[in-house]
Structure 1
């Protein structure tokens, strides 16, 4: 017999209050295909958020569902205590793609866990619990990753196992350096980094940074900033962790990894990834050179990280991504989408900025004539877009006033045009 209590009420009765839901009337997604999803009432939506940048290639991609089904028919679980062919094969692919010499991969089940592992490696290798992080950043919901998250809205406690120093530079159009030209901005951020290091007691373990901040509202520094930071870090022996959970796998279009826009001196010491590689399956991971990865001197395993089923999905998804040049599609269609978003936003007083790269775009909303974030406007636009058949995300500092747009990388030109038109219509509803 069907439970007569509405699903939203059942959600509230058994799940935490802080487990956020979108929309005044939350929707239940029941199935998807390509770039579209359907809710329990039969409404069809163009998906411009991909389950928080996770549905990277397409919903119900036949190649991935086939790989999952076939692997599940053989064996679903074994743990890392046994040799695992799909895990080894995916690790070989990721090592080669990472650019990190003599690389090793440890698979996890999420980006939070990947960043947590990266912190464990860096602090152990450097014998220091001091971490550099960027203001406005987000790195996960675990106790350690919350403690390096520079976004107040996503950091519920000040207690921490780490000593974190926050530096400027990740947000180009806000803060004390916003009025400077790109080279001046980078020089000022480097000077700030040097100043912060002067306040640290002893050695710092690592800098962790998202090449493009995800939850922070798709903000980014000028190209080359983290490369300039790297020169300072290298002088002090400090490791660089690039959090590629949202920017990796070609989403930015121009590069396969976000760090590649910043460093001419080689890859980061540690790279973390998750989300898109599994296309909805729970995959995260850490890549580091062997010297860093092998610095732990105690036993460790993973019960669920690198499971045969998720690894099979990752292999099929990565193969599809590369064989169909979805990075190139992100560059071409993403460029068109950004152009259209700027066009439909023109003349809307609430739009402060349209920014992004590839299929990773943000539309920042403020109170007209000011720089004050307007989260109510962002929520209203999300609602208006949903009623017109488009799903968006939101983020941006602690005020969540940025529309986050990140559709699957197989997005077509027609779908980009359709989505931009709906966003234009939704923006006009708040004027």
Structure 2
């Protein structure tokens, strides 16, 4: 099996356009494409799955152990012809200084032996693009640049000037995408609008496949790929053991941020996942052992959730006898109230004392390391978890609830109490990626 990693030197340069276009074009050719996403991202893997026709996976060198990365990659590569990984941010962007464990796309490429397809946005430059390509080629000796795809090319002359300068470095230019806003995907405050919310997703993916297929030499790209030296026998401890045998999982447009590797690991361990839709007024299955409310966009549906009496009463009844955990958006819904962007307060489940607001947005972003302070769905007291936080909510109050964990960031800050627990109910803005113990 062959593979490669698609990266750029900054966010917004066109990685997702190229990734989705290539995945869809390759799948259209009948190839079995195994998609992967570097770093903490819930939204892109759903698009990858739709484009490639098989589930995606996240690979994270900061939040996962090397064994977990290798094990997940090996599982993802089973029965595939081509592993296609999309990077995050810039190719070398990460945190900390531990070699190979910074969370960067470069770490994943090096760990899995993937060559890099470099996407360069050449807006406002021509020959100078070669300097950027040369820097990417030389900065990390672990990496090999497979080739370059130019993005947002303004004219044939523009393409020629960029290509000639880059190919003089010994780097093949495998494609040049003209400026085309028609193929751009809609976005909102946490990234792309979710795949499941796009009624015309298939049409958009077909258009991306046409666009990339027309302007990228896919045959040459495949020829330049190397075999992926991922051991098919690689095994690793599951990133997160299932929180119960039967898991009631909130799943709709308000609750959709679930890592594919968690669902796969839970099912592989024999757990049964029982999805339900709070937006449709559905309560958690009363026969489940545990209820999990993932993150998503409850702030966009606060009025509907506040009026979902059947869901809220069923959730409260469930929480009286069995564990309930909420991550980020799920945490907010477990709280007492949520103030939307317009300043209107909506009563939530009231199972925790948390009060949150989107009226005055503030970005919270970064990796987190957490040590649990009590037993619960995430694991036993003392368990160490890695993950991330990404939201714009402001905390107005937390009530008198005990903290869920001691949490530290990735930059050496002192651990501090975070999250909430009351009875069998727990919650935090912290999204779990893996257990580290």
Return the structure number with greater relative CO, CA threshold 8 A, min gap 6: 1
Structure whose alpha-carbon radius of gyration is higher:
2
Query: So what's the TM-score if we normalise by structure 2?
Result: 0.27
Query: So what's the TM-score if we normalise by structure 1?
Result: 0.27
In terms of fraction of residues, the more helix-rich structure is: 1
